[in-house]
């Protein structure tokens, strides 16, 4: 392992432990939680193999209070991993999820404009650029308190403030690929 390798954080021995930890900090007045949501790819990559349908660990559906507080980013996908997992494959997985339509239990099909990795501290440099260009952020604890924070490109897209109104970003920059690559 390289010294500058970016890994998931926390102390979760298994993925179910990480999911349980995430669910314990989601504010139920802000989000309706959908677990293990299946979907289908709008346009799968040519080099992918397998016939399985994509499944995201958690899909957060904003509730009325959150929308009235300024949330305008729609449903949020969160992929959970155990601690100390390298981010490369997780980011690749979430890049695929940006092309997914999720089938909610109530029969609606939705796309998540933003997807997040839990548990992961904010990343910097080239990796952050790749993530932002693909609308991928990180989900972590708000200052190590039992409150959820969704960070995207160095900005808190959502930060739970307990019983007070949440901190919500009104503008998120990135995810608009332009120019030659």
Is the peptide bond prior to 117 cis by the omega test (within 30 degrees of 0)? no
Q: Confidence class of residue 163 from pLDDT cuts 50, 70 and 90?
A: confident
* Nearest alpha-carbon partner for 106 in 66, 75, 64: 75
Q: What is the model's pTM?
A: 0.90
Q: Confidence class of residue 150 from pLDDT cuts 50, 70 and 90?
A: very high
Q: Confidence class of residue 176 from pLDDT cuts 50, 70 and 90?
A: low
> Where are any strands of DSSP class E within 22-119?
31-41, 55-62, 76-80, 100-103, 109-110, 114-118
At residue 110, the pLDDT reads: 97
Task: Tell me how many helices (H) and strands (E) the chain has.
Answer: 4, 10
Q: How far apart are CA 51 and CA 48, in angstroms?
A: 9
At residue 179, the pLDDT reads: 55
Q: How far apart are CA 127 and CA 7, in angstroms?
A: 12
Q: Which of 39-43, 126-130, 131-135, 174-178 has the lowest mean pLDDT?
A: 174-178
Question: Domain locations in the chain?
Answer: 15-42+53-168
pLDDT tens string 89-103? 999 999 999 999 999
């Amino acid at each position: 392992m390289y010294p500058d390798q970016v890994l998931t954080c926390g102390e979760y021995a298994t993925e179910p432990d990480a999911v349980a930890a995430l669910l314990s900090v989601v504010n139920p007045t802000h989000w309706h939680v959908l677990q293990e949501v299946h979907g289908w790819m709008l346009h799968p990559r040519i080099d992918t193999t397998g016939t399985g349908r994509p499944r995201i660990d958690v899909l957060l559906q904003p509730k009325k209070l959150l929308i009235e507080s300024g949330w305008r980013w729609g449903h949020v996908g969160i992929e959970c991993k155990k601690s100390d997992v390298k981010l490369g494959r997780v980011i690749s997985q979430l890049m695929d999820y940006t092309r997914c339509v999720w089938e909610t239990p109530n029969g609606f099909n939705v796309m998540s404009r933003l997807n997040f990795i839990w548990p992961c501290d904010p990343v910097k440099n080239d990796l952050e650029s790749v993530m932002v260009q693909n609308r991928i952020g990180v989900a972590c604890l708000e200052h190590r308190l039992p409150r959820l924070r969704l960070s995207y490109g160095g900005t808190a897209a959502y930060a739970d403030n307990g019983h007070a109104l949440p901190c919500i970003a009104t503008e998120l920059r990135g995810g608009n690929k332009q120019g030659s690559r």
